[in-house]
Amino acid sequence: LALDIPNLIYVRADDDFFIAGLNFRILSAYGNYVDELSNDLLNDGSMMFKITAGKESMLFCADVGIGLSDYLIDRYGNDLSAKYLQMGHHGNGGLSDEFYQLVNPDVAFFDAPDWLMYDETGKYDNPQNAEVMKSLGSDIYSFNSAPNSIILK
């Protein structure tokens, strides 16, 4: 829905912003393609963006999930690569293994508490997604390793 607020600017996929020497590129935000591809508009309509400094980048996946994986892979391919990654949807469900293989981060951040990261009920797949990221050589950070911080170079 559009809000009529004079100083509100809506972002769209492929928008670029330069702030404090960093490039912010919007890879996904709510748009008609989300309506066409997803049955989970609340999550898949969230904003995915990549911040790039001189040599390093971090991809923030927000709550974007599996419904947009193929679309994002087709649209951005190797441009998804980043040194740091905030996992989609807290690392639960989230994006496809192929998506994460293209990102191939050194560090994967799971916005998740221990009960989600180490779920033994089988209801959540954070443990499996953490194993996928470990198999790619990524270090895993979560609430358990907080405080977590990085400085993009």
Instruction: Give CA 127 to chain center in angstroms.
Output: 17
End-to-end Cα, the chain, rounded Å: 37
**Nearest-5° angle of CA 86, CA 27, CA 61?**
20
Give the pLDDT score at 10: 85
Q: How far is CA 151 from CA 56, 98, 129, 141, in A?
A: 9, 27, 25, 15
Give the pLDDT score at 94: 84
Low-confidence ranges of the chain (pLDDT < 50): none
* Contact in structure between 134 and 105 (CB atoms under 8 Å): no
In this prediction the pTM is 0.92
Give the pLDDT score at 68: 93
Give the pLDDT score at 2: 64
Signed CA dihedral, 80, 110, 12, 45: sign only: positive
**Nearest-5° angle of CA 100, CA 129, CA 23?**
35
Cα(142)–Cα(121) distance, integer angstroms: 19
- CA R_g for the chain: 16
